[in-house]
Amino acid sequence: MRRTVFILVCFLLACLYAEAQQTTRLNGKVTDKSNGHPLVGADVYIQTLQKGTASAANGTYSLEIPDGIYEISISYVGYKTQKKRIQLNGKERYLNVQLTAISEHLNEVTIIGKSKTQALRENAMPVSVINMEQLQGMVGNISDILSKTSGMQVRMSGAAGSNARLSVRGLEGKRIGYFMDDLAMNDNNEFLDINDIPIDFIERIEIYKGIVPARLGGSSIGGAVNFVMKEFPARYADASYSFGSFNTHKANFTFRRNKNGYKAGIGGYYTFADNDYEMELSLQPGRYIRRDHDGFEKLTVGGSFTSTRWWFDEVELEGIYITSKKEIQGIEYNIQQAGNHSRVWVLNNHIEKRDFLLEGLNLDINNAVTYSLYEFRDTAMTRYDWDGTPYAPVSAYGGEIKGYDTRNKAVNTFQRTNLEYSIDKRHRINFSSQYRFVRGVPNDSLRDKIVGYQTAFNSTMHNWVTGLSYEYNTDNQKITNVFTGRFYYYKMQTKLIPAFAVIKDTPEDITNEKSDFGISEAIRYRLTDQSLIKASAAYDVRLPSGEELVGDGFLIEPAGNLNPERNASFNAGFMYDSRYNGRNRFQWEINGFMMFLKDMIRLTGGSLQSKYENFGQMRTLGVELETKWDATPWLYLWGNLTYQDLRDTRKYQPGSMVANPTKGDRIPNIPYFFTNIGAELHRENFFGGKGQNTRLFVDCSFVEEYFYNFEQSIHQERRIPRAETVNAGLEHSFRDRTIFLKFQMNNVTDKQVFSEFNRPLPGRNFSVKLRYIWK
């Protein structure tokens, strides 16, 4: 009932809001003047609104714009930019533009205009970019999209609500930076998972490999994923609802209003799922049961107020509330009652100022504070096996897992300052500073009662990362070089009970304070108009995260003696991008990479709680290939493959002089070979009529068999089998992309697939989605 009420309220608010819309829909088509062929991906941009879009596969574009007089810029790679002045007064307008091909040769190098996506791809750093066009048509979640990128994997432990861990070139978890609009989110991803972000809200996804730009800051090695959210028009309303397998419901909405230099907005999303798919019991091979305790429910709502009339270009105040509930599904054992409940309150302030104090100096500031309350209950007085036979709890006080009644509070404050100074067209400097303070207040009276003494203590952590980068470009843009230096500092304080504690033992005060530095160098050299080479090297550091140092108060204990991870990496790549017939585009890129990781942090088990420890070191060698082809105006083909060989290079077992028996073995639980291919058909008015667009896509994924733990004997069978999956989907829009109907089916052939640690994933499943944009 609550789900139905929530969805109805969303659509009712949207309908009411739509009555106040005073905007005009601007439609048009961008073509080549010489032959009339449509230009795919042309930029249509309005500087005064800082809003734009890209032309679709048939060259068409559509923008919702407040009434007024504007200058519109239309640009495309290899074509002369056109600027048009247009007045909008509430009546739908059409503006078709014909661009003229042009190239200016300076020192035998062609200077051409670049779209934002293309300019990022041609950065000196190794980076993949997923733009809005590639996101359209998707009904599933972010994991489905990211998993199609070369060198990228998303490690899931189940369906909706299960944690998603990002893996870039084999490095995963908190080693990979997770950003939203350049803000580090790694210490908040226990509450905000990547799959919580509605696809409809994203403008593009930037995936950095090996080197993280200084402007992002944060503490990560091996890569980062930055979700850039859409800049919605001044008046905008958008709502959608989807239903899928395993009783999965998702709804999201957003409203925006701009008047006299002030902006106000509200938005949110809601997810509910039973996740009751079938799985095979790991301890009873051949026996299948339906998951019956994996329910998930999450609600996020937020509002913002922005002023563009004060001295700063933009001052934004934002508030967010997140609440979620998650049941714990048993895999080895039949858990029926344990679960968690979290609530999070976030206040954020964002300030921007161009030409701050002097021309060419841009200022970007973020201040945020988060208060979270996390509850985990495992108090059942009866346990059951998969046959329904009852057993006594794990302790006299109850528990199906270990016995918990946790109520953890935490305060997380964050401050980010970014200054970018463009000295001239050749020289640019960027300075970034990020400071974070975390205070954790755990409490679990049940755990203390079971153990006989206090097990969790208050903890604090200070974390500061600052970086400075210098970018140099030759006048003809043939060479680009970026050098970055970073300084890292953290300090944590907590208390720990000795490993073999007795009741009379008193906790030890633990203080861990460390600092370090990192450097990186990236260079790009343009060979021809269509090709370039790039190379980069880095020696960087990742500070332990708040969870790793402080623990979570119940399953993970504090680890006050962790050392930062250190990673030395190298990347070399070649990129080719060409157009022919004025419309067809062919792109391919190949990268080879090498990494050496020391003091790797890994979660290890314990008698009462798990704990993060410095595992040792490993080496990575790999190669990745990616290709994209606009074969015809209506057919797009793509593919990629990745080979990444991660090896254990420890001489001795941790904390001893005993020879390491796994030296030279592949690091387990990380795929070493995977590939993806796909095709998309897009046609205007494919089924007849007017103002309709159709997308049909199919993609296939292959992951080779790999180990989920070190396998010292062929009789251990610690392997995750080879996986071959096929996904397909259809999107159809009406009324010039006002109404969208979408359908997607994952794992069409119903293959049995497993996640990390050999956890069963859903078989064939589907989603249908309805989206409406008020104009």
H or E element in which residue 117 lies: helix 116-121
Residue in the block written with tokens 């004060």: 310
Tokens representing 457 are 């203590």
Report yes or no: 41 and 133 within 8 Å, Cβ to Cβ.
yes
Cβ of 687: how many Cβ atoms within 10 Å? 8
pLDDT tens digit sequence for 722-736: 999 999 999 998 888
Report yes or no: 229 and 201 within 8 Å, Cβ to Cβ.
yes
Q: How confident is the model at residue 479 (pLDDT cuts 50, 70, 90)?
A: very high
Distance CA(200)–CA(97), nearest Å, equals: 27
| First-last CA distance in the chain | 30
Distance CA(60)–CA(27), nearest Å, equals: 7
Query: What is the pLDDT, as a whole number, of residue 632?
Result: 85
Q: What are phi and psi of 105, to 5 degrees?
A: -95, 120
Report yes or no: 335 and 328 within 8 Å, Cβ to Cβ.
yes
For the chain, state the CA radius of gyration. Answer: 27
Q: What single string gives the DSSP state of each residue in 272-339?
A: EE----EEE-TTSTT-EEE--S--EEEEEEEEEEEESSSSSSEEEEEEEEEEEEEE---SSSB--S-E
Tokens representing 44 are 């249509």
Tokens representing 116 are 């934002």
CA angle 23/24/28 to nearest 5° reads: 150
Tokens representing 351 are 């300030």
Question: Would the pLDDT of 634 be above 50?
Answer: yes
Residue 681's DSSP bridge partners are 635, 696
Tell me 3's DSSP state: H
Q: How confident is the model at residue 304 (pLDDT cuts 50, 70, 90)?
A: very high
Question: Would the pLDDT of 538 be above 70?
Answer: yes
Tokens representing 160 are 């909706």
Better pLDDT: 326 or 555:
326
Query: What is the pLDDT, as a whole number, of residue 2?
Result: 47
Beta strands 60-66 and 23-32: pairing type? antiparallel
SS3 381: coil
Domains parsed from the chain with CATH numbers: 1-102 (2.60.40.1120), 229-248+259-774 (2.40.170.20)
Query: What is the pLDDT, as a whole number, of residue 245?
Result: 94
Q: How confident is the model at residue 113 (pLDDT cuts 50, 70, 90)?
A: very low
Which is nearest to 5 in space by CA: 299, 246, 247?
299
**Averaged pLDDT of the chain:** 82
Tokens representing 441 are 């207040």
Residue 16's DSSP bridge partners are none
Tokens representing 721 are 């089998």
Query: What is the pLDDT, as a whole number, of residue 595?
Result: 92
SS3 449: helix
Query: What is the pLDDT, as a whole number, of residue 715?
Result: 58
Distance CA(246)–CA(362), nearest Å, equals: 48
Least-confidence region, from 351-365, 620-634, 686-700: 686-700
Kindly state the average pLDDT of the residues 206-231: 80
Query: What is the pLDDT, as a whole number, of residue 16?
Result: 39
Query: What is the pLDDT, as a whole number, of residue 688?
Result: 78
Q: How confident is the model at residue 14 (pLDDT cuts 50, 70, 90)?
A: very low
Q: What single string gives the DSSP state of each residue in 636-690?
A: EEEEEEEEEEEEE--SB-TTSSSB-TTTTSBPTTS-SEEEEEEEEEEEETTTSSS
Tokens representing 610 are 């798990």
Of the chain, the percentage scoring pLDDT greater than 90 comes to 33
Better pLDDT: 518 or 562:
518
Q: How confident is the model at residue 140 (pLDDT cuts 50, 70, 90)?
A: low
Distance CA(492)–CA(612), nearest Å, equals: 15
Kindly state the average pLDDT of the residues 25-42: 79
pTM, two decimals, is 0.79
Compute the half-sphere exposure of residue 228: CA atoms within 13 Å on the CB side of its CA: 14
Cβ of 386: how many Cβ atoms within 10 Å? 14
Question: Would the pLDDT of 775 be above 70?
Answer: no
Question: Would the pLDDT of 486 be above 60?
Answer: yes
Tokens representing 515 are 């600092």
Tokens representing 268 are 């949110």
- List all residues 6 or more positions away from 81 whose beta carbon is below 8 Å from its beta carbon: 73, 74, 75, 113
Query: What is the pLDDT, as a whole number, of residue 565?
Result: 85
**What is the distance of C-alpha 703 from the center of its chain?**
21
**Which one of 88-92, 106-110, 216-220 scores highest in mean pLDDT?**
88-92
Residue in the block written with tokens 């993970």: 556
Report yes or no: 730 and 766 within 8 Å, Cβ to Cβ.
no
Distance CA(85)–CA(765), nearest Å, equals: 49
pLDDT tens digit sequence for 398-409: 999 888 899 999
Kindly state the average pLDDT of the residues 79-108: 72
C-alpha torsion sign, points 741, 747, 750, 754: negative
Strands annotated E in 448-562: 459-473, 479-496, 508-526, 531-542
Q: How confident is the model at residue 343 (pLDDT cuts 50, 70, 90)?
A: very high
Better pLDDT: 100 or 409:
409
Residue in the block written with tokens 């993949």: 128
Query: What is the pLDDT, as a whole number, of residue 644?
Result: 94
Beta strands 635-648 and 611-632: pairing type? antiparallel
Q: Return the biggest CA–CA distance within the chain.
A: 87
Distance CA(140)–CA(274), nearest Å, equals: 16
Kindly state the average pLDDT of the residues 241-246: 94
Tokens representing 681 are 């058909």
Question: Would the pLDDT of 79 be above 90?
Answer: no
Report yes or no: 287 and 280 within 8 Å, Cβ to Cβ.
yes
- List all residues 6 or more positions away from 717 whose beta carbon is below 8 Å from its beta carbon: 711
Question: Would the pLDDT of 153 be above 50?
Answer: yes
Query: What is the pLDDT, as a whole number, of residue 609?
Result: 56
Tell me 754's DSSP state: B
Kindly state the average pLDDT of the residues 656-677: 88
Q: How confident is the model at residue 475 (pLDDT cuts 50, 70, 90)?
A: confident
Which is nearest to 642 in space by CA: 143, 126, 151, 144?
151
**Which one of 14-18, 59-63, 121-125, 367-371 scores highest in mean pLDDT?**
367-371
Kindly state the average pLDDT of the residues 357-362: 90
Distance CA(203)–CA(178), nearest Å, equals: 16
Cβ of 183: how many Cβ atoms within 10 Å? 20
Question: Would the pLDDT of 108 be above 50?
Answer: no
- List all residues 6 or more positions away from 328 whose beta carbon is below 8 Å from its beta carbon: 293, 294, 335, 338, 339, 340, 378, 401
Query: What is the pLDDT, as a whole number, of residue 416?
Result: 92
Kindly state the average pLDDT of the residues 19-43: 73
Distance CA(245)–CA(159), nearest Å, equals: 10
Report yes or no: 542 and 176 within 8 Å, Cβ to Cβ.
no
Question: Would the pLDDT of 39 be above 90?
Answer: no
**Which one of 115-124, 299-308, 757-766 scores highest in mean pLDDT?**
299-308
Question: Would the pLDDT of 174 be above 90?
Answer: no
Least-confidence region, from 101-115, 269-283, 341-355, 475-489: 101-115
Q: What are phi and psi of 16, to 5 degrees?
A: -65, -40
Least-confidence region, from 83-92, 203-212, 477-486: 83-92
pLDDT tens digit sequence for 588-619: 999 999 999 888 887 665 544 567 778 788 89
Distance CA(505)–CA(515), nearest Å, equals: 32
**What is the distance of C-alpha 653 from the center of its chain?**
34
H or E element in which residue 144 lies: helix 142-146
